[in-house]
Amino acid sequence: MNHAHQLCEEGTAICLNGVTVTYQDVLALWQVNLDVSLGQYVGIAGPNGSGKTTLLKTILGLIKPQEGQVSIYGLPIDHDNKEILKKIAYVPQAHQIDPFFPATVEDVVLMGRQGLKRLGQRIDKKDMELVEKELKTIGLWKERNRPIGHLSGGQQQKTLIARALVREPEILLLDEPTSNLDFKITKEIMDIINYLHETRELTILAVHHNLKLMRADVERMIILDKAIVYDGSPNNPEVDEIIQKTFFS
Ligand SMILES: Nc1ncnc2c1ncn2[C@@H]1O[C@H](COP(=O)(O)OP(=O)(O)O)[C@@H](O)[C@H]1O
Ligand SMILES: [Mg+2]
């Protein structure tokens, strides 16, 4: 059987089958096969431009692969399939938030709920309860009325995680949630993700910048260099050599 047609096992949360993505003539992903099982915490590493963000966007159905298929719980992903998309939350790669952006921390987190509403459906008590719960989870309840732009980079990043959590996702995708943050806050955010994985039955696929911290936390590590060059335990002795080859040569 051609590996491009390999099928994922039953009960798989995320399945990519021979996925190739190009932007015009730039190759971003090459023949990616991936099966993430329910409740798994998978870390993704790779140098700049290795296709990490493209991989997450393809799983979300934001990018259509030139070749191959993506499915969630065995159903083909389709950006118009709202029911599947409701089960997934995405924390996009950090960007600087305008200090004058006219929204409070609470407003930003509430946006996660608004994305689930049908037209004309109002924000209700359950929405506000979830916002409170997740602001407390990430430790920003006291900051809820401050403008988002006035917060530190780490607090802004935590706010975006809370915005994802209020969707009550089953699958959480994170794109470099700690890039540009110092070690202390990086460790805090890594610990929050770990806590979420351990206490909720979340399936997590996260691109991480700090390889050392990532390898201490994840149960499975993927190294991407347009193709998958490693997929396995983060503690395997060959990982160091593959990192060396992929990142530094
Ligand atoms: N919208 C786009 N148009 C053209 N090329 C893109 C676009 N997005 C990404 N690329 C290219 O695709 C490759 C993979 O990018 P990306 O997925 O962002 O990698 P990473 O997240 O690992 O840095 C890079 O060569 C990048 O320049
Ligand atoms: Mg990226």
The pLDDT of residue 119 is above 50: yes
Q: Measured between alpha carbons, how far is residue 128 from residues 158, 225, 240 in Å?
A: 18, 42, 46
Predicted TM-score (pTM) of the model is: 0.94
The pLDDT-based confidence of 1 (bands split at 50, 70, 90) is: very low
d(CA 195, CA 138): 10
DSSP characters over 153-203: HHHHHHHHHHHHHTT--SEEEEE-TTTT--HHHHHHHHHHHHHHHHHS--E
What is the pLDDT, as a whole number, of residue 94? 75
In terms of phi and psi (left: phi > 0; alpha: psi -120 to 50; beta: otherwise), the region of 187 is: alpha
pLDDT, averaged across the chain: 93
- Among 32, 53, 56, which is best to mutate for testing ligand 1, by the most ligand atoms less than 8 A from CB? 53
Ligand nearest to the CA of 54: 1
Percent of the chain with pLDDT over 70: 97
Residues with CB under 6 A from ligand 1: 23, 26, 28, 46, 48-54
Q: Nearest ligand to the C-alpha of residue 179?
A: 2
Q: Calculate mean pLDDT across residues 127-135.
A: 98
The C-alpha atoms of residue 138 and residue 101 are separated, in whole angstroms, by 21
- pLDDT (mean) for 31-51: 97
Which residues are CB-neighbours of 213 under 8 A, at least 6 positions away?
Answer: 186, 187, 190
pLDDT confidence of 249, banded at 50, 70, 90? confident
What is the residue type of 197?
Answer: H
Residue 213 has pLDDT above 70, yes or no: yes
Residue 159 binned pLDDT confidence (cut-offs 50, 70, 90): very high
pLDDT at residue 6, rounded to an integer: 55
